[in-house]
Structures are given as structure tokens and as C-alpha cells.
Amino acid sequence: MRIEELIIYKDFAQGDLLRDMVRLMEHYKEEQDRTLCYDCMHRLLEIAASHGFYGNLWHCYLTNLLVNNENSYSKACEIRGNVEGTINELVLHDIRIFKELYDYDFKDMMNVLNVPEFALVLSYESCFQESKVYNTRIRDRICHLAMQFNSDDTPEAMKDTLTEFYKDYGVGKFGLHKAFRIKHGENGAEIEPILNIAHVHLNDLVGYEIPKKKLIDNTEAFVKGKKANNCLLFGDAGTGKSSSIKAIANEYYDDGLRIIEVYKHQFQDLNDVIAQVKNRNYKFIIYMDDLSFEDFEIEYKYLKAVIEGGLEKKPNNVLIYATSNRRHLVREKFSDKEDRRDDLHAGDTVQEKLSLVSRFGVTIFFCAPDKKQFQQIVKTLAERYSVNMPEEALLLEANKWELAHGGLSGRTAQQFIDYLLGQA
């Protein structure tokens, strides 16, 4: 099977199973190792359980290796598609080897080793609805790609299919997932996928058309490679700031947009995170939710340098989006004015606290709705979720609800509708 001759596609995350399968395929007549065969079956089934794979599990396993192998070719093709140069011949050499693995006929091996059960992993019906590794959409794409490979008659056709996949969806974790979080490990910051991002879309957010338009315009410029600004969404609680960011991630995923969530205590890892993503073909939004600082917290000074001010230029494929209930991010008190009387350069102190927000070129205000706007949001949501209730009674109950549950906001309206649906 010549896997030791692979040039570009090497160092697979689950490569031990590949080596054992190849050994089984090449030496089953001499060794007749039924134990190894059953062990390989077990591992294929475990991968199917964790990844949610179905159909030919051997093909799904091989496909999963190809779509996750971040190498010079796959990273060059992500989002962009075909590339020129000698590397195409080297990749075709590797694909020929994978084509042999795909086309291998296991019938003789099953007969010699007397393992008819192996046929079950070649036509597997999954009982698992969820994947612990991928969301359903990504899982189905990988299984479908495995079936496409099976129908490709030549290595050249298989290479074209794989390259098209890289163009459409990318490669590795950044290609297969929309959103990520930071985990601090032994080797520094690790970027890990968030499997279940909320399926919020911009049309789901009732009202706020002007704020949404500003956010869309800035984001579209960014994903198209034009100049764009860091963005701060500020205003009242429950008005859709965080939901707008999630909607942006869903809306522009197919255009190569990815979002990385970072918390305040992780600012020390920002340089490491940016270093890991700056040479990829995706556009990355580093997302900071509910960003604010007390006057004694100094992390904002570090953030200022990372956003704009350090010697190294921020990459063109990285922007910072933040949400906050505070316009100026750093808390200011009336007592600060008393303290400034003793400050020799009081203006410098004020500028120090305002300098962080000035790094955000676009600031978007989300204000709480008035009574009429709140009622319109309730009516729109009720219609969307098919709540059958007379309008007068609906609005009366909505008014009672908002008085007892946090006041006028889009979040309160959604919670009220959820309550009605739960009581139905």
C-alpha cells in the first residue's frame, strides 16, 4: 500500500490505525492475525461513534485524514482553490496511494481470516444522532465526500474532488468549524473548536436595522479583503449585541470568516493566537463578549498594545469585535474627578482611560426599545413561532412579563415567547 512513500500527506493524527490496516491488508495471508483485524474493526467503530460516521467506515476514516491534514498544499488551496506549481505532481503521487487504499477489495481477507463481520464496517448504519467531534453539517459533508471519492475513477479526479473541498470548506479545524475558544495548555495557547454554536441569523434579530447595517458593512469589507475596522458593540443589556456577532459568524462562514472567543483573563495569549492564524487564508474575528474593566484592572493596557501600538503590525486577516454595556469600557467614577485635582496632568489620566475605546474604529450603539418597539418585537416573535393568542391578550401578558423580568429588551421579549411556548 506504500504509505511509507507518502510525501505531502504525512503525520496523521490517527495514523496508527492506518498503519495497522495496511499491515493487515498486505500480510493477512502470512500472519493470519484475526486479533489485529478485530482490533481494527473496533477502532473504526469507535471513530464512527465519536465522529458520527456512517456508510463505509474505512472510506470515512481515510477521508477524515485527508480533510484534516494541514500541509503545504491543503493550506494553499483552502478558500482559494487550485494552485500552480510542481506541488500538484507531488500531491497526485500521494493521492494515487490513497486511491489504492480506497479501491482495496477486502473479500479475500475476510475469507482467509474468517471474519465475515468486517463487511458490517463497510456498510454501517449509524445509531448515533450526534457527533462529539463535528456538528451534523460537517459530519455529513465528510461522509458525502467519502462517497464522492468512491465514485472517482482516477487519482486525478479524486485530487480534483479533494481540492474543490478545500476551496469550499477549507482544511483542518479552521476549515471545518465556525467558532473557537482558547485553552491554555503546556505548549501555550491552544485554539479548539466550539462544536455547537447558536444558529442565529441576522434576520432573526427584530429591529436594530441601522446597527446591523453598520456591522454588516464593516464585516463584508473585511471578508472581501478591503480595509475594515475593529468594532465595538455597546449599549443596554439584552439588545442583541452578542447575538449579532453570532449571526455574523453564521452568515459569512462560507466566505471564510471564523470567530475566536477570548476572555479577559486570556489576553496574555493574544499574541500567540494571532501568530497561529495570521498566515491562513481565512478571516478571523477575535471576539470579546461583555468587555469592561474596573479602574484597578490593568489588562486593558495590554489589550491596547495588541490591538494597535505594538511593533508588530496586526495581520490583515484579523479584526477584534467586542461587546460591552459600557461606552468607554473602563469604569469611571465621580470620585475620579476629585482625584484629578491632585493629578498634575489630569488630561493625561483621562486620555489613558479613553485610549482603549479609540482603538475600535467602528462603534455601534444598541439601545433598549421603547414600549411600542418592544410590543412590535413580541408580535413578530409570536408570529414567527406560531403563538396562537389574541393580540390584545398577548401584549397585556407581555407587559406584565417585562415588568417582572428585566424591563424592555429583545431578550425579555424572547424569554416571554419561550415561556408561552413552554406552557402551550
Neighbours of 180 (CB within 10 A): 24
State phi, psi for 323 to the nearest 5 degrees. -120, 150
Residues 6+ apart with CB under 8 A from 389: 382, 397, 420
Whether residue 244 contacts residue 215, with contact meaning beta carbons closer than 8 Å, is answered with yes
Neighbours of 380 (CB within 10 A): 14
Cell of 341: 485635582
Residues 6+ apart with CB under 8 A from 323: 232, 233, 234, 241, 242, 245, 288, 289, 290, 291
Among 3.40.1050.10, 3.40.1390.10, 3.40.50.300, 3.40.50.2000, what is the CATH number of 179-366?
3.40.50.300
CA distance 272 to 274: 6
pTM over the 0.75 mark: yes
DSSP 185-212: ETTEEEEEEES------GGGS-S-HHHH
Q: Where are the domains of the chain?
A: 3-176, 179-366, 371-423
Residues 6+ apart with CB under 8 A from 342: none
* pLDDT tens digits, one per residue of 39-55: 999 999 999 999 999 99
Antiparallel, parallel or unpaired: β 179-185 and 188-194: antiparallel
Q: What pLDDT shows up at residue 25?
A: 94
Q: What pLDDT shows up at residue 346?
A: 46
Q: What pLDDT shows up at residue 196?
A: 80
Cell of 158: 479524486
Residues of the chain with pLDDT under 70: 1, 128-129, 295-301, 308-312, 330-355
CA distance 70 to 141: 18
Q: What pLDDT shows up at residue 345?
A: 41
User: Cα(first)–Cα(last) distance of the chain, in Å?
Assistant: 61
Residue indicated by cell numbers 485524514: 65
Q: What pLDDT shows up at residue 304?
A: 74
Whether residue 260 contacts residue 289, with contact meaning beta carbons closer than 8 Å, is answered with no
